[in-house]
Amino acid sequence: MKPKIAVLGSINMDLVFKTPRMPTPGETLMGESFHQIHGGKGANQAVAAARMGAMVDFIACIGDDDFGSRSLKALNDEGIQTQHIRVVKSCATGVAGILLDQHGENSIILAPGANAKLNITDVEAARLTIKSSQVLVCQLETPIDSVSKAIHLAHHAGVAVILNPAPMQKLDDGLLASIDYLILNETEIEQLTGITVKESTEALVAAQQLQSRGVGIVIITLGAHGVFVADKLENYALPAYQVEVVDTTGAGDTFVGSFAVGIAQGMPLRDACDLAQRAAALAVTQLGAQTSIPHRASVERHFR
C-alpha cells in the first residue's frame, strides 16, 4: 500500500522571469523569457510526495480566480486528494514573482493571497485526515496558528511531523518540541539560532541548540555542499550529487516531499535523506518548481 502523507501549506502561481543577472535598484533590465508555473511550498512538497509514490491529502486555500482553478486541476491530475482545499471567495490565489539568473540562482517575492486565509477551522475539518496519516508535512507560508494546530493534532496522534520553516519566523519551544524532523537551509538556521553555518562544526552547534529546545532530528540542506544530519545518536554530512544546474527553484521542496515518503515507508534516516538528495539533484536540472519535480522511476533510473 502507498504510504499516507498529509501536507498543510501554500498554493501559488509562480511567475518566472529568466534574466542574465539580477537587476540593481532602479534598473530596468531586459529579460530572456517568462513562464507561469504551478508552485507554492506546500503544493510543491505535496506533488513531490505524490510523485515519489505516496497517497497525499492536501490542506490549503485558493482564491476564486483563474490561477486557483488551474492549480486545483493540476493537483487533481497528480492524484492528490483535494477535499480539504477551500476556495476563498473574492480573494486572489497566492502568487510568487521569481527572478532566475543565468547561474540558476533565484530571488523570490511572495503575495500570499488566499494562503493567508488558511485557518484553524480548516485544520479542524481535516482532523481525521491528519491523525490517520503516517507523516504530516508543514511549512510557514500559511498562518502560524494553523500550522501549530495541525502539528499539535499530529504529534498527539503519534504522527511523524516534518516542518520546513520557510519563510522563517519566530518559533516557540512548545512548537519545536512537537517536531520530529526540522528541515531547513543555512539561511533559515542562522535566522533561527543566530549561528552562521559554513561547515559541519557550526552545523552541529546550531543543530544541538535546536535539539536542546526539543526538536528531534535536524536536517540542514546546503545546496551544492550536500546535507548535514543531526540525530540524537549521531551526526554526519552527506555530499551532494553533482549535476548541471538549470534552476534551483523547488529543489528544497522536492527534498522535503521525497524525504517524507522515505520516512513514511520506514526507510532508515540516511536512506531517506539519500532518496531526497537524488530527487532534489534531478529537480535542479529542469526549469520551474512543479515542472522540475521528478517521479520515483525517473530518480531510480537516473541514479542506477
Q: Domain spans of the chain? A: 4-22+31-125+135-155+164-302
**pLDDT at res. 102:** 86
CB 137 within 8 A of CB 49: yes
| Alpha-carbon span 264 to 5, nearest angstrom | 8
The reported pLDDT for the residue numbered 247 is 82
**Is residue 76 marked as binding?**
no
Alpha carbons 9 and 59: distance in angstroms, whole number:
7
Local structure of residue 271 (DSSP, 8 states): H
Identify the CATH homologous superfamily for domain 4-22+31-125+135-155+164-302.
Ribokinase (3.40.1190.20)
The pLDDT of residue 258 is 98
Helix pair 66-77, 41-51: axis angle to 10 deg: 20
C-beta neighbour count of 76 within 10 angstroms: 12
Question: So what's the pLDDT on residue 107?
Answer: 85
Angstrom distance (rounded) from CA 144 to CA 40: 16
Laid out side by side, the sheet with 33-39 consists of: 33-39, 12-18, 94-100, 106-111
Q: Is there a binding annotation on residue 115?
A: no
pLDDT, block means (10 residues), the chain with 304 residues: 96 93 92 92 97 98 97 97 98 94 85 98 98 98 97 98 95 96 95 92 95 97 92 92 87 97 97 97 89 94 89
Residue 24, marked binder: no
Give per-residue pLDDT as tens, 161-174: 999 999 999 999 99
> Which DSSP string corresponds to 101-163?
-TTS-EEEEEE-GGGGG--HHHHHHTHHHHHT-SEEEE-SSS-HHHHHHHHHHHHHTT-EEEE
> Can you say whether residue 26 is alpha, beta or left, with left for phi > 0 and alpha for psi between -120 and 50 degrees?
left
Taking residue 264's Cβ as centre, other Cβ atoms within 10 Å add up to 24
Give residue 304's pLDDT: 81
The confidence score (pLDDT) of residue 27 equals 93
Q: Tell me, what DSSP letter sits at residue 250?
A: T
Residue 103's pLDDT is: 84
What's the pTM value of the predicted model, to 2 decimals? 0.93
Q: Which of 231, 253, 271, 274 is catalytic?
A: 253
Q: Is 253 a catalytic residue?
A: yes
What does the pLDDT read at residue 251? 93
Q: Is 292 annotated as a binding residue?
A: yes
Residue 192 cell numbers, joined: 533561527
pLDDT at 291: 87
Is 267 labelled as part of a ligand binding site?
Answer: no
